[in-house]
Every structure is written in structure tokens, then in C-alpha cells.
DNA sequence: GGGCGTCGGTAAGCGCGCTCACAGACAGGC
DNA sequence: GCCTGTCTGTGAGCGCGCTTACCGACGCCC
């Protein structure tokens, strides 16, 4: 089922299908959940949630990309995650946490499904399999975050950019023209690698000179993963 | 029950008592778990686990402190957590993750209880209440880690040190002599705040000049939380 | 008491990467 | 076409904090 088809599909179960943590749930259970998760749309650039509004809901991303980020007192931003379709986000509410000062912004026009905290408690945590999946997801995030923290502390900007590019491009199959594409601007990449736009531009230029990536407007093609891994170190 | 008494107590349930995530488990259940968790001791300075040995066990810390840290290629260390008695650690194995390049080192002589992965699966994850507690713990850690990442990126060294001191001292009741004590050397503090020992010494000296802390060998007393919070920012 | 290891204090030097300040390139709208 | 906004490219300057290199102070063990 391609994405456009899914969007047009009036099927009530649509919110649950093709979402990783629900993969082994049967139709009857999904039906109950789907009723509790109405669909909602956001325009590119709008905020899905922010620290001010105390949203206590879980989101399931069906279409588009979401950027989760934090803001420093002086206005700089650090992107902590980019959410792809088929993933839940805003999971902190599941485990009784605040959304801890994070913003969620639609990178494109997006479609999400929304579940209230109460429904999360009864429908998700009540199910052993889903609860286990959620723990697993949290564990993975924890490992990734710890890695990012040590990267931020130990690694140089070129190393962090190489790391970020490799992470973003993995899984993406190489389309025509050889090389996996990362569809981000230098500014967006800078916010992920915790650096400035200017140095990002400079370092990406050096990478391109070495032939490990090739640059396009809002689009970076990873040509030589091996050498990028060498730059990343460890 | 004071700690020394607990250590000497031959009670089989000893491993479970006074541990936060087990607080509402009844005696019969605890008994089953306690059999699966033999007691083990480590000398000050020894490693409880390291990335090389693939330990697949969960630890329950009963006495002493444990430092969880990562090491950079060039040998610098970043402390990701200091574990206090009554807390589980090595939890990544619960959620099917590796211990992801972390070391665990005994800061003093320590006593731990050990559970195998298999026992964790059946005894802990099988119990709804404990599973929920574990998710909660993971969520808390996730929030704290995200905060630490953005601190590492956005804040200056004095701000990070103030943050670290406040975090370490909170909960500690002020003993004689006014001021909550943080029992760490400058070097240990530096590894927590992701900075160097020398700048830590310098900044702590400035804090002491301002009168917000007072210094002793391997011991820092927080005198004025308010002003420390002002330095921390946000 | 003497010796030694850890801990704390201090200073000079310098390099990475941020800030600030432009300027050209590309895309889309009208 | 032209205008506008975003994106990319480039350079000068400089400051925070790391590095390197000591040395004195304290505490513990013999």
C-alpha cells in the first residue's frame, strides 16, 4: 500500500497500520485503539507541540517529517530527533514525564494520529506486547542519546557531521545517480550536529572536495560511506 | 533498618528490600526473585562491567557508589551516571540493548545483586507493576539525558558545573556545618560536567570566592543554592 | 617521622569553532 | 522578465576552554 493510497483510505484502522510498535496486534484490538486516535493535520512549519501548551497526548506520525528540538535562552536550536512516518512521538507522556521543554515542528505538511493520555494507559500499557515494544523503543533511544552526548563532548565538528550524515543516510536505499540522499539544508544539519551553519557549509565543502559526498540545494548525496566512516572515527 | 545491619542480615529477601522499583511487591514474589539474584562484591576501583565482556545481567546496587562512564579514543572519560544504593543499573539488558560501550566502576567497595537476562525476562517484565516502574525509570533517564545533551551544547563551563553541583546535592539533607555535601574530587566532577580538571578547579575557586560553595579535599559544600541556580541559568 | 600518591592550585599559550558581516546563487511567484 | 526569500559560500576576528607544565598541600601507610 503506497502512502497516498493510505491517506485517502477511509479505513478506521488506518492510524494503526504500518506503525512499528503495533506490528503484531490483531484487527479487533486495533479497532478499539483506532477509535481513540483521530487524525489531525499540520502545515509545514507549524508546531505540533511546544513546552508552553501542556499537551498530554501521544502522536503517531503517518505522513511527512517532524523535527523535535530544544531552544537555548539565546535562541539557538538543537534538534534531538527527526521523526519519520510510522513512528510514535511525544512518548514521554506514556511514562509519566513532561514533554520536557521540547518543541515538535512539522518539516513538511504532516498527518498524525492523536491519543489521549488516558487511552494510552488503558490501551497501550495494558497490552504486554505493546508495553514491551515501548520499553524497547525507549531503550534504543536511550542508547542513541548517550552516544550523541559523548559525540557532542568528544568529537570535532567534522566527525560529528560525518556521524550525522551516516546516521541519516543509513537505511535509505541509493536511488538513481549513485549515493543515498539526505534531504536537509545546511542549517538543519547544523542543528542536528550541534554546530553553526557557517562551519557546516565549510566542512561539507571539504567533504565534497574529497569526493565523499556531493552537494545540491537542500540535498546531500553520500557517495563514499567507507571514507565517511573513517572521518567519523570509532 | 540501617545499612550495616542490612549487609549482615542473612535474609534471602535482602536483595529486593529498599529498592525503589520493587516497593509494592509482596513477600512471596520477592522470594522467587531473591533466589535468582545472588550477592556479589567489588573492590573500590574495580570494573563491574566493561564493553569488552558481554555481560548480560542486571545489577541491583546495595552498598557503595558506582560510576557509569564512557571513554573517548584518546582516553578522556565522560561520566554518564553515578548510581546510588537502592537503584538498579545495567538496565539496557532489560530492553534488549547492549551495554553500549559503557564502563561501570566501583567508586568505593560495593555490594551488588546480580540477575541474569533470563530471570529478568520472566520475573520482572512479566509483572505489570514492575514493568511500568521500569518504563518510568527509563523515561526519567531519557528526560535527564536530553537535558544533559542540551546543557553540554548550550551552556558554558561555569553553568554546567553549577548545574552538576545542584543536581548532585539535591535530596541530600544539610548536615552539620550548614550546606549539602558533594563528595567528589575536582577530577570526578570534571568528568561529570564534561570539562577539564584544571578549569574545574579554577571555576570552583571563583564559586568559593563568591561564597556560594566552600571547598574541602574531595568534598564540596553547597552554601547558597539560590545564587548557584542563578549562575546555572534557566 | 619520612616517603609517596592523590589532590588541588596556577599560569602561559594557542587552536577550534563561533560570531559577525557580506555577497552571490538558485527557485518560485507574479 | 524581475523581485523576494531561502540557501550557500567565504573571510576576518576573537574568545572560551583545553593543553601543557609545574609545584605545593594534604593524608595515609610503613
B112 backbone dihedrals φ, ψ, rounded to 5°: -130, 160
Q: Is A87 helix (H, G, I), strand (E, B) or coil?
A: strand
CATH code of residue A197: 1.10.10.10
Asked if residue B166 and residue B147 are part of one domain, the reply reads no
Asked if residue A146 and residue A39 are part of one domain, the reply reads yes
pLDDT by residue for chain A (234 residues), tens only, comes to 444 444 444 566 777 777 888 887 777 777 777 777 888 999 888 999 998 877 788 999 988 999 999 999 888 999 999 998 888 898 887 777 776 789 999 998 999 999 888 888 888 777 778 888 888 888 888 999 999 999 999 999 999 999 999 999 987 776 666 789 999 999 999 999 999 999 999 999 999 999 999 999 999 999 999 999 999 998
Structure confidence at residue A3 (pLDDT): 45
Select from B129, B153, B177 the last residue of a domain. Answer: B153
Please tell me which residue lies nearest to nucleotide D18, judged from CA to C1'. B196
Cβ–Cβ contact B156 with A under 8 A: no
- Partnered with residue B142 across adjacent β-strands are none
- Domain containing residue B197: 155-232
Structure confidence at residue B96 (pLDDT): 72
A194-CA/D1-C1' distance, Å: 41
By percentage, how much of chain B surpasses pLDDT 90? Answer: 50
CB-based contact A146 B94, cutoff 8 Å: no
Q: Cα A72 vs. chain centroid, distance in angstroms?
A: 20
Let me know: does A113 contact A120? Beta carbons within 8 Å: no
Asked if residue B66 and residue B173 are part of one domain, the reply reads no
B135 backbone dihedrals φ, ψ, rounded to 5°: -60, -45
Q: Which single residue is written with the C-alpha cell 538498579?
A: B88
Asked if residue B89 and residue B78 are part of one domain, the reply reads yes
- The angle formed by the CA atoms of residues A75, A80 and A85, to the nearest 5 degrees, is 125
The pTM of this model reads 0.89
Asked if residue A78 and residue A117 are part of one domain, the reply reads yes
Structure confidence at residue A96 (pLDDT): 72
CA–CA separation, B131 vs A124, rounded Å?
Answer: 13
Average pLDDT over chain A, rounded to an integer: 86
Q: Which value, to the nearest 10 degrees, does the dihedral of the CA atoms of residues A124, A129, A133, A134 take?
A: 30
- Count structural domains, chain B: 2
CB-based contact B73 A154, cutoff 8 Å: yes
Asked if residue A177 and residue A126 are part of one domain, the reply reads no
Nearest partner of A138 among B23, B216, B132, judged by Cα: B132
Angstrom CA distances, A222 to A70, A174, A210, A230, A232, stand at 27, 9, 12, 14, 14
Asked if residue B179 and residue B82 are part of one domain, the reply reads no
Nucleotide nearest to A218 (CA to C1'): D7
Asked if residue B180 and residue B120 are part of one domain, the reply reads no
Asked if residue B190 and residue B75 are part of one domain, the reply reads no
Q: Could you check: is the Cβ of residue A108 within 7 Å of any atom of nucleic acid strand D?
A: no
Asked if residue B140 and residue B161 are part of one domain, the reply reads no
Which residue ranges in chain B fall short of pLDDT 70?
A: 1-12, 99, 174-177
Asked if residue B173 and residue B76 are part of one domain, the reply reads no
CATH code of residue B48: 2.60.120.10
| Alpha helical stretches, state H, A99-196 | 117-119, 128-154, 157-169, 186-193
Cβ–Cβ contact A234 with B under 8 A: yes
Asked if residue B164 and residue B92 are part of one domain, the reply reads no
Q: Which residues of A114-134 are buried (b: 16+ CB within 10 A; e: fewer)?
A: bbeeebbeebbbebeebbbbb
Strand D nucleotides with an atom less than 7 Å from a protein beta carbon: 6-12, 16-21, 26-27
Amino acid at each position: 500500500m503506497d502512502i497516498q493510497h493510505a491517506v485517502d483510505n477511509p479505513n478506521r484502522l488506518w492510524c494503526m497500520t504500518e506503525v512499528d510498535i503495533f506490528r503484531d496486534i490483531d484487527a479487533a484490538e486495533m479497532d478499539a485503539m483506532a477509535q481513540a486516535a483521530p487524525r489531525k493535520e499540520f502545515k509545514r512549519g507549524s508546531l505540533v507541540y511546544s513546552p508552553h501548551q501542556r499537551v498530554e497526548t501521544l502522536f503517531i506520525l503517518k505522513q511527512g517529517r517532524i523535527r523535535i528540538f530544544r531552544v537555548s535562552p539565546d535562541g539557538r536550536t538543537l534538534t534531538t530527533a527527526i521523526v519519520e512516518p510510522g513512528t510514535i512521538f511525544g512518548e514521554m507522556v506514556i511514562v509519566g514525564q513532561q514533554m520536557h521543554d521540547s518543541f515538535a515542528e512539522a518539516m513538511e505538511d504532516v498527518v498524525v494520529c492523536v491519543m489521549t493520555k488516558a487511552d494510552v494507559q488503558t490501551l497501550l500499557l495494558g497490552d504486554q506486547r505493546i508495553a514491551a515494544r515501548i520499553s524497547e523503543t525507549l531503550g534504543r533511544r536511550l542508547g542513541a542519546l548517550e552516544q550523541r552526548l559523548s559525540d557532542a563532548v568528544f568529537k570535532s565538528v567534522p566527525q560529528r557531521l560525518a556521524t550525522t550524515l551516516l546516521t541519516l543516510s543509513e537505511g535509505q536505499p541509493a536511488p538513481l545517480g549513485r549515493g543515498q540522499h539526505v534531504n536537509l539544508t545546511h542549517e538543519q544539519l547544523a542543528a542536528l550536529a550541534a554546530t553553526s551553519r557557517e562551519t557546516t557549509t565549510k566542512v561539507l565543502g571539504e567533504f565534497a572536495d574529497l569526493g565523499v559526498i556531493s552537494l545540491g540545494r537542500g540535498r546531500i548525496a553520500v557517495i563514499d560511506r567507507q571514507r565517511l566512516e573513517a572521518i567519523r572515527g570509532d
